[in-house]
């Protein structure tokens, strides 16, 4: 019978005997877990050379001896000599050190599971009979897909300390939320949601999860920011996992910093899950590269709340791409200041409404006439405004798509 345990190897000595491909793969995992790794082998794989170069592992370029195991917590016997691996397993047994024998798992005291991490949970699968790495990886991957798709209720069952997870849900398409963001939703007792982003995913949370809508529109702010901060802290103090579901990325004009500050000041554990920012994703979905070699090599992201600030006007005049979030109402002011600041009136402008969703609409024009066009077509928020040569219609279909390397 095999008992399953998890070992915390952070800061603990791990000895790897062997420098080949098997050792190289296993070392990656030990390093990622924070172990203090020593590799003992006459010759080592190029991957291990890189680890050594970056100071991730210590390499002893010689054959292994029993004394190399002294003080170790864990040993991997992965030489190309099965008899030597078996001997290393015996040395480890004599020292009461956990050991994986890569030649014959039955001769070691441990087996390495095929693992995947999902937030603060790890799933491990291992063979109880003769080792079958391909089989356990297939099972692990099937379970991981199930968890990462949000199909398992991963809420905590035992009372504990509350926490807040700020999740950037991306520009709107639910497929553009990160895997960690999707996992966090399945852990939530409470979801505090914006109006924008991948809110479609809320239909997948269990019915007894509390969903609080604090979304703002340009002319309607029903829940002020200090109340949102208070709500996050209050629910977390009740011992709940609170997911703050935000559009785009929490730190790109999303007031994520203010919410993190409120949690830290209150002593609440807080995690930030970055999201795909609308400033980049929405133009990309509309076929607009915000930078393009030979066209624009710099980018400035601003918000309509800043109006026609000097930095944006200077960037436009210099030929940089300027992306404006929440800028529909401020567009006339921005255009006027840009032209007065020396920008070419023929500079292309593209406005993408409801980017990445089924309601996406693209409106294009030049600085000189984009305000009139917006009025005629009824452009409305949410929208991303792209100003610069990259917004010229058909850019990628032209000769620039095949610009040779310098």
Residue 158 lies in a domain: no
46 and 26, same structural domain?
yes
User: Which domain-ending residue is among 276, 293, 319?
Assistant: 276
* Active-site hit among 216, 309, 344, 369: 216
Residue 403 lies in a domain: no
* Number of continuous H segments (helices) and E segments (strands) in the chain: 11, 17
d(CA 376, CA 360): 18
96 and 131, same structural domain?
no
Residue 3 lies in a domain: no
Could you read off the pLDDT of 144-165 as tens digits, one per residue?
888 888 888 888 888 889 999 9
Residue 291 lies in domain: 280-394
Residue 340 lies in a domain: yes
**pLDDT above 60 (res 405):** no
d(CA 247, CA 256): 11
Q: Which is nearest to 322 in space by CA: 382, 367, 371, 369?
A: 367
Residue 401 lies in a domain: no
pLDDT value for 1: 44
CATH number for the domain spanning 92: value is 3.40.50.720
* Active-site hit among 101, 173, 189, 194: 194
Could you read off the pLDDT of 38-84 as tens digits, one per residue?
999 999 888 888 888 888 899 999 999 999 999 999 999 999 999 99
CATH number for the domain spanning 204: value is 3.40.1010.10
**pLDDT above 80 (res 267):** yes
Q: Is 194 a catalytic residue?
A: yes
Q: Name the residue with higher pLDDT: 164 or 104.
A: 164
* Cβ atoms of residues 212 and 190 within 8 Å: yes
30 and 89, same structural domain?
yes
Residue 155 lies in a domain: no
247 and 185, same structural domain?
yes
Q: Is 107 a catalytic residue?
A: no
173 and 251, same structural domain?
yes
Which stretches of 279-342 are assigned E, i.e. beta strand?
Answer: 299-303, 321-325
d(CA 131, CA 111): 9
* Cβ atoms of residues 298 and 365 within 8 Å: no
CATH number for the domain spanning 381: value is 3.30.950.10
39 and 75, same structural domain?
yes
Q: What is the mean pLDDT of residues 214-241?
A: 86
Q: What tokens appear for 112 in the block? A: 């390495």
Q: What tokens appear for 319 in the block? A: 């030929």
Number of domains making up the chain: 4
Residue 6 lies in a domain: no
340 and 328, same structural domain?
yes
Q: Which residue shows structure tokens 């901060």?
A: 229
Q: Which residue shows structure tokens 């050991």?
A: 99
User: Which domain-ending residue is among 230, 259, 276?
Assistant: 276
What does residue 347 show for φ and ψ, rounded to 5 degrees? -55, 130
Cα 48–51–52 angle (5° rounding)?
Answer: 90
284 and 389, same structural domain?
yes
Average pLDDT, the chain: 89
Residue 355 lies in a domain: yes
336 and 291, same structural domain?
yes
92 and 175, same structural domain?
no
User: Which domain-ending residue is among 85, 112, 139?
Assistant: 112
**pLDDT above 50 (res 169):** yes
293 and 241, same structural domain?
no
56 and 142, same structural domain?
no
Q: 171, exposed or middle or buried, with CB in 10 Å at 0-12, 13-18, 19+?
A: buried
């Amino acid at each position: 019978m095999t008992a399953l345990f998890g070992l915390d190897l952070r800061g603990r000595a791990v000895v790897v005997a062997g420098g080949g491909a098997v050792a190289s793969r296993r070392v990656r995992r030990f390093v990622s877990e924070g172990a203090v790794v020593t590799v003992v082998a006459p010759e080592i794989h190029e991957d291990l050379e890189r680890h050594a170069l970056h100071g991730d592992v210590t390499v002893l370029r010689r054959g292994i001896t029993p004394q190399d195991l002294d003080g170790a917590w864990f040993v991997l016997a992965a030489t190309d000599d099965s008899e030597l691996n078996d001997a290393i397993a015996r040395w480890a047994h004599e020292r009461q050190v956990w050991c994986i024998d890569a030649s014959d798992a039955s001769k070691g005291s441990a087996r390495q599971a095929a693992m995947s991490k999902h937030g603060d949970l790890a799933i491990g699968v291992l063979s109880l009979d003769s080792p079958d790495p391909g089989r356990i990886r297939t099972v692990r991957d099937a379970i991981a897909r199930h968890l990462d798709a949000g199909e398992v209720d991963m809420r905590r069952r035992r009372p504990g300390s509350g926490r807040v997870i700020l999740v950037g849900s991306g520009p709107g398409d639910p497929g553009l939320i990160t895997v960690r963001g999707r996992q966090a939703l399945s852990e939530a007792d409470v979801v505090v949601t914006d109006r924008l982003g991948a809110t479609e995913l809320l239909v997948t949370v269990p019915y007894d999860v509390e969903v609080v809508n604090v979304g703002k529109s340009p002319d309607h702010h029903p829940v002020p920011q200090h109340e949102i901060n208070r709500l996050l802290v209050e629910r977390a103090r009740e011992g709940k996992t609170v997911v703050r579901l935000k559009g785009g990325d929490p730190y790109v004009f999303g007031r994520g910093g203010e919410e993190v500050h409120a949690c830290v000041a209150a002593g609440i554990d807080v995690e930030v899950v970055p999201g795909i920012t609308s400033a980049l994703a929405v133009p990309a979905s509309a076929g607009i590269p915000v930078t393009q070699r030979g066209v624009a090599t710099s980018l400035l992201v601003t918000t309509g709340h800043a109006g026609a600030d000097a930095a944006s006007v200077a960037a436009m005049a210099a030929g940089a791409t300027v992306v404006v979030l929440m800028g529909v109402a401020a567009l006339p002011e921005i255009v006027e200041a840009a032209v007065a600041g020396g920008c070419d009136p023929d500079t292309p402008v593209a406005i993408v409404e409801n980017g990445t969703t089924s309601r996406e609409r693209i409106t294009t024009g030049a600085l000189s006439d984009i305000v009139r066009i917006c009025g005629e077509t009824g452009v409305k928020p949410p929208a991303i405004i792209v100003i610069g040569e990259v917004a010229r219609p058909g850019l990628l279909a032209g000769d620039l798509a095949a610009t040779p390397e310098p």
